[in-house]
Amino acid sequence: MTAEPAAARGGEGVAARIAAWRILRRVDADAAWSGPVVDTELRRSRLDERDRAFAANLAYSTLRWQGTLDWALTTVVTRPLERVEPAVLDVLRLGAWQLLYGDSPDRAAVDTAVSVAREQVGDHVAGFVNGVLRALARSRERLPWPSEHDDAGLALRSGYPAWVVASARERFGERARAVLEAGNVPPGLVLRATGDPAGLLAELRRAGFDATPGRLVPEAVNVPHADPGALACVAEGRAVVQDEASMVVARAAAPPTVAPGTASAPMAEPSWRVLDACAAPGGKTTHLAQLGATVAAADVRPNRAGFVRDAAARTGMAARVGVAVADAARPPWRAEAFDAVLVDAPCTGFGVVRRRPELRWRRTPGDAERLAGLQLRLLEAAAPLVRPGGVLVYSACTWTVAETVGVATGFTALYGDRFTLDAATLTPAAHRRPSAGDPGVQLSPDVDGSDGMYLCRWRAEPS
């Protein structure tokens, strides 16, 4: 947790709370993603660095624990929460998080919440906010927590919907709690060096950052507590913000001449053609180009295809990347046109809840099955585009059984006469291997320190 700003400890700190409340309002009312909203709102604020960090932590934490906060509030609010004005409910959530999990004294948490309500909503709600939060402060030691052995109890204790807990137990068994709790730890900044990673590492250390090499791939550099917007290497395209799990995925579709311990391929005329079928925003596309491939990058939405073009230009990879507005379910390319096809499929996204805490509350129990069907259709559409001897890679930044093992085993069952599993170099060295009953590899934050990415690779049989 981020420490309280000095003003907040003195019972003030209203400006930081207002910034956090505005973030919640935009995320809730506009269904926006928290990351860009946090960046925008804090740039607009006049907060100092310490208060900006506090506001961001308060907003992210409140989004992460929203279900538990709402449950706690129902014990002291005499009306259904659906009947509480959304703007007021967000004030209550901010105050409830501070009372249940924060470091500020109860009086400061309540008084600043009342001030936010008065300034941002109106005087008429101040008494209601004051009464609710004071009641919660008095009763929090007596909250009727259910048993953590039940899905509902573990959900409240870990900050997820109960159905997500049940899905995690189905996927990970006894590791479920560790995976869920790791998804609550905000990730540090990870960069992909577009040139020499040792040089980038030295540059960052000279600048005073506690930079360390990545664990999974040689081009990764960890820079905890750094602001990517303030790094010259990012602005100049010498580094890209990208999680290591995504780098592992790109390497699974990279030219076979790329050695596991090297960060890039010589910039010779490449002959390895890759289709990145769901390419936006372009991190894997530019990584593949960096590793020596010629990449056709596709996205069905023109604005997102533009993101890929921008990424290729920013990293100096435009000559190796061609961008097309195309539907991966109906690809316009000829059969056997590519040495490798990467299908980084739309998914429930539970592997990235460290970065998007609100995502867990936006998904519904039927989403995994629905998206698994889409993922299988995308793989079926991509399969004819792989030349004999080429590779097909499926990835998804999630861990539900339906989307991961279900899709991979389903495709293998349908196309096992044309594609064979090819797991020998899915991940560097012998870091991870597919397990019994699972043809792919599941990365996870608790074990790998990375996003929860799943990947599976097949090789097309010679004609």
Contact 77, 139 (CB under 8 A): no
DSSP secondary structure code for residue 390 in this structure: E
Residue 391, both tokens: 């590779």
For this structure, is 397 an active site residue? yes
Phi-psi region of 105 (alpha: psi -120 to 50; beta: other; left: phi over 0): beta
Residue (of 264, 326, 316, 268) closest to 296 by Cα position: 326
How far from the centroid of its chain's Cα atoms is residue 159's Cα? 16
Q: Tokens 């959304």, residue?
A: 86
Residue 128, both tokens: 């209601």
What is the rounded (10 degree) CA torsion for 348, 350, 353, 358? 40
Contact 101, 1 (CB under 8 A): yes
Measured from the Cβ of residue 282, the count of other Cβ atoms closer than 10 Å reads: 30
Q: Exactly one of 278, 347, 397, 456 is catalytic; name it.
A: 397
Distance CA 272, CA 126 (A): 64
In 3-state terms, what secondary structure has residue 459? strand
Point out the residues that are catalytic.
397
